[in-house]
Chain A
Amino acid sequence: MTDSLSPRDWASHPAYIDPGYKSTGLRGPKQPLIKLPLGLGETLGPRFGREHVFEKDADLTLNGRVNGEPQGERIIVTGRVLDEDGRAVPNTLVEIWQANAAGRYVHSKDQHDAPLDPNFFGAGRCATDDQGVYRFMTIKPGAYPWPNHFNAWRPNHIHLSLFGPSFGTRLVTQMYFPGDPLLPLDPIFLATPEVARDRLVADFAIDVTQEAYALGYRFDIVLRGRNATPMED
């Protein structure tokens, strides 16, 4: 629970309708949002933490193995989940899903002509520790084409879903990789206000990198924090 909740900062989040990302045209709400006074339904939330995480869930190089190691470049993705005041968000569930090294998702609707990897499932989860730290071992996802426009390719990315302390802190986002040449061409990344785009790009981190095994990336996630304004219910 949060005793209060700072506003969703719309200067940091994409607008619902974006001319570059075509699917938003019929799916994004057009009417103005109605400001909701905060009550228990917003400041309380479902409790998902350690008890929802099982062994191997945070290691995507292990959790899909059938008869060998998954193909691709092993990476470590870690960071802290924080609120806007820099406070750690402990024991909260982080769920991820991603394409394999060839840019193919396990999802049955993904028809991209790239190979599935029998030893890579591409989804995992972990809970943050007392300092808000999460950590995944996985394979660097490949880029893949999508039908938004001619020759459209999504940059390498990992999808993340987080709860935080309340229903109001819920966040689904995507983590991108530094230096990806597809980033300046990607309508989903570009739909994000420019001032906030770099918050979606992980940092390469040599201190996270594991000698002779896997490159490391650091990606901190900032959820809504507390507000001085008292709640109304």
Chain B
Amino acid sequence: MSKLGQTPSQTVGPYFAYGLTPTQYGYPLKSAAGPEVEGLAQAGGPRIRLEGCVLDGQGAVIEDAMLEIWQADAQGRYPGAPSGANSSFSGFARCGTGTAPDKSYRFETVKPGSTQAESAPHINMIVFSRGLLSHAYTRVYFEDEAVANESDPVLALVPEARRHTLIAKRMETDQGIVYRFDIKMQGDSETVFFDV
């Protein structure tokens, strides 16, 4: 049977903020999703902040990018999973890079648990920006999960020299645990992007 052709992706452009992240940017429309994952109180596990900058091929900070994250809760349960879902946890958040003084993104969430015995905890992420014609998928793994990362089947697909681009650095700050994950669109340490 012949299939319908997929509608092509197009760039999110420079002016997405009042449509997709209006509350964060101070526009008079309620965002469908903000930088804090909903249902954190019921998510279990340690609260974390995930933050970083998106950098272009010359190392300049991209001020008009938008990130989305999608993750399991602290027990490794995705919302909507066929068994054992956590119905009060949204698992999703969205943040633009135009509002923080350093033009970073900042997500408030929990550290996810492993979804499978052999897979390391991770957060799924999509990058959108002006100049990015198709959205780019990446994954955030955690520095303090070195043992689990060693046996993760997806990290194993990544050339060893590039794996570090997927590992967030852990920092203990007076505001709690922060994982730092910069995204390099190009260059020597270009972040690994996936064909999802």
Tell yes or no: B46 within 8 A of A by CB.
no
Q: List 7 A-B contacts (CB under 8 A).
A: A9-B6, A13-B6, A23-B131, A36-B194, A97-B15, A170-B68, A222-B6
Nearest CB on A from B42, distance (A): 16
The 5 closest A-B pairs by CB, nearest first: A97-B19, A23-B131, A46-B92, A27-B131, A14-B133
Residues of chain B having any CB pair with chain A under 8 Å? 1, 3-20, 22, 25, 27-30, 32-33, 56-58, 60, 62, 64, 68, 70-72, 78-82, 90-92, 98, 115-116, 119, 122, 124, 126, 128-137, 153-154, 157-158, 162, 185-186, 190-196
Q: In the complex the two chains form, is B137's CB within 8 Å of A36's CB? A: yes
Q: In the complex the two chains form, is A172's CB within 8 Å of B157's CB? A: no
A-B pairs with CB below 8 Å: how many? 244
Which of A69-77, A81-89, A129-137, A208-216 lies at the binding interface?
A: A81-89
Q: In the complex the two chains form, is B196's CB within 8 Å of A29's CB? A: no
Q: In the complex the two chains form, is A159's CB within 8 Å of B16's CB? A: yes
Query: Does more than half of chain B's interface fall in helix, strand or loop, or is it mixed?
Result: loop
Task: State the CA gap A193–B71 with chains docked (Å).
Answer: 32
Taking a contact as CB atoms closer than 8 A, the residue among A48, A110, A167, A192 that contacts B8 in the complex is A192
Task: State the CA gap A67–B95 with chains docked (Å).
Answer: 32
Q: In the complex the two chains form, is B7's CB within 8 Å of A221's CB? A: yes
Residues of chain A having any CB pair with chain B under 8 Å? 1, 6-10, 12-16, 18, 21, 23-31, 33-42, 44-48, 52, 54, 63, 82-86, 93, 95-97, 105-110, 121-123, 125, 159, 161, 167-168, 170-174, 188, 191-193, 195-197, 199-200, 221-225, 233
